[in-house]
Chains A and B, each alone.
Chain A
Amino acid sequence: MLTQQLLNALVLGCMYALFALGLALVFGVLDILNLAHASVYMSSAMLAVWMVRALEVPLAAAVPLAIVAGALIGVGINQIAFAPFLRRGLSGQAIHMPSLISSLALALVLEGINRGLFGIQVQRFPPDLFPDLVFSIADAQISLLQLTVIVVTALLIATIGWMLQRTRLGRAIRAVAENPRAATRMGIPVQSIVVKTFFIASALGAVSGIFMGLTYNSVHVLMGSTVELKGFAVIILGGMGSLAGAVVASFILAVSEVLAVAYVSSHFRDMIAFGLLIVVLLVRPQGLFGRKAA
């Protein structure tokens, strides 16, 4: 029983981790919270369902298309909500509030668009998209879908990690994250790096949304709001500058949630994230691995 719960927590943690990684990447590079990240998460899932149901596109094609769409939406979000402020040369604290508001505004617009296009009903993927295979590990069961989530997440995290450490793009991203002005002087095209970061981060959010939609077979306009707040809790717990922290904290949150639901009560499940958020902010604002003090 416990093994099963931990397995479920692992899968949930993977999805949280992908989402949080996207949020943390943007925060690392721009020092801003992207409040429209959850909109990308939701929009990609909605698009995937729509493509499969209405256009009868096979899942294997719909998923990559939805991911790319989500990534492009993310880039669009940057252009509209963040780039104008960066161009005006604002930085640090001065940029925080206006860009938070503008990303929030875009989140509203995207919710409205999705609502208008797809309605407010819960959407579901058609049944039997994934072969209904179930494996047994110890005394627990794991479906092919869950296995896919875990494997893909591991691959994505590993790839991102490798990319950041070993490629030119990765080094450029880290340079911009550390000091945009110095990076510019070193000849790094900051604007272009920011765009690429948003593409990657939003793609991660999209994958997270699609997986979540598939796993719980429930996709709707408001699915972003709970995960968004959990995402904040996770990156604060992990430390706002830290990608590894975001990943670790995601699993901590997932395990806490699953155990609380199993052994305490399902009512207060969502409160765990919020409670954790407040406690961490009070006790250790820089989180587990944070590099910036609050």
Chain B
Amino acid sequence: MPFLTDFLYLYGSITNLIIINCLLALSAYVNFSSGQFSVAAPGFMAIGAYTASLLTLNAQWPFVAVLAAAVLLAAVVALLFGLPILKLQGVYLAMATLGFVEVIQNLAINLQLTGGAMGLMGIPVKTQTWHLALTLAVFVYLLWVMGQSRLGAGLRAIRQDWQLARVLGVHLHRYNVIAFVISAAMAGLAGALAAHTNNAVVPGDFGFTLVIAVLSFSIVGGVERLWGPLLGALLLSILPEVARPLQEYRLIFTGLLLLVVILFLRRGLAGLVEDSWRSLK
């Protein structure tokens, strides 16, 4: 497939970036679609990235084992942190998860183990684009299956009306924790894969900027449909590349986009597309 290989040669790194952003967007989707205002994804991505990098660099584990370890550690941390913290809701949960991201980032910057502010370098590039694409496909399938399942129905119910859901027998806390752990595992895997794409892992990548980016994917894309955050991730990853001359206005543009969407397009672009489609029929 010469076209594909040429394309990937030229645009490989941006394709990787887009897919990684899509993975993160899906991780956040699990939270938002169940009404959890959690912004913890960058923190779990960091955990996954550092775990994977350290195991590759210091213990020379095979790639698959490294990925598995990253997912596992992220899930365990999510379980331990999630059990107490998911008793909170709304703004309080948002702040707690924001605090979590900051704590993780701070630890990454300050611990010797994680290479301090410079991070870890010299990580062999093991991730191929097809790995990322496969993971994305697996995530989408997983989430689709989850959506059809009892867990998915329960999470949807929680998002729409948690009090009613509880009355109808949905075990709120358990479902919330499960969603949180799944989302963390996804973010951890994304982080592990990303770490092996770029040779280096830097703590600065896992802070407030990434929190805003992941949030933007979901807001702009819309969280009612599975493909909403994907659309958001795709758009917001491509835009800076396509609109290179406007680099300096990137922040302003992102802010304005978010503002417009939240004020006028509550269901995001996915909602807009759906509505247009419906009115065309």
Q: Which residues of A contact B (CB under 8 A)?
A: 33, 80-81, 84, 93, 96-98, 100-102, 104-113, 115-116, 225, 229, 232-233, 236, 267-268, 270-271, 274-275, 277-278, 281-282, 285, 294
Contact = CB atoms under 8 A, between A and B. Distances in A.
B85 A109 contact: no
B94 interface: yes
B95 A107 contact: no
A281 B100 CA distance: 12
A285 B90 CA distance: 13
B37 to A, nearest CB: 6
Contact of A267 (B90, B99, B110, B248): B110
Nearest to A109: B255
A116 B102 contact: no
Contacts of B144: none
A270 B106 contact: yes
Nearest to A283: B84
28 contacts: A33-B91, A97-B37, A98-B262, A100-B94, A102-B263, A104-B212, A105-B257, A105-B262, A108-B251, A108-B254, A108-B258, A109-B252, A111-B251, A112-B249, A112-B250, A112-B255, A113-B252, A229-B98, A229-B102, A232-B95, A268-B106, A268-B110, A271-B102, A271-B103, A271-B107, A275-B99, A277-B99, A281-B92
B18 interface: no
B259 A278 contact: no
B262 A233 contact: no
Given A96-B90, A102-B262, A116-B248, A107 B255 contact: yes
A286 B212 CA distance: 27
Given A104-B212, A109-B251, A274-B99, 17 more contacts: A105-B258, A110-B255, A111-B251, A113-B252, A116-B249, A232-B98, A236-B92, A236-B95, A267-B110, A268-B106, A270-B102, A270-B106, A271-B102, A278-B99, A281-B96, A282-B84, A285-B88
A271 B101 CA distance: 11
Most B CB within 10 A of own CB, among A108, A113, A236, A281: A108
A274 B102 contact: yes
A270 B106 CA distance: 8
A246 B70 CA distance: 39
Q: Which 3 A-B pairs have the closest CB atoms?
A: A108-B255, A112-B251, A112-B252
Contacts of A268: 106, 110
Contact of B103 (A107, A232, A274, A281): A274
Contacts of B266: 98
A233 B100 CA distance: 12
Nearest to B256: A109
A108 B208 CA distance: 12
Q: Is the interface of B mostly helix, strand, loop or mixed?
A: helix
Interface residues of B, number: 38
Contact of A100 (B91, B110, B253, B255): B91
A105 B256 contact: yes
Contacts of B106: 268, 270-271, 274
A10 B98 CA distance: 27
Contacts of A84: 263
Contacts of A109: 251-252, 255-256, 259
Nearest to B208: A225
A270 B252 CA distance: 28
B89 interface: yes
A116 B89 CA distance: 37
A104 B208 CA distance: 11
Most A CB within 10 A of own CB, among B88, B89, B110, B251: B251
B231 interface: no
A105 B216 CA distance: 9
Nearest to A111: B251
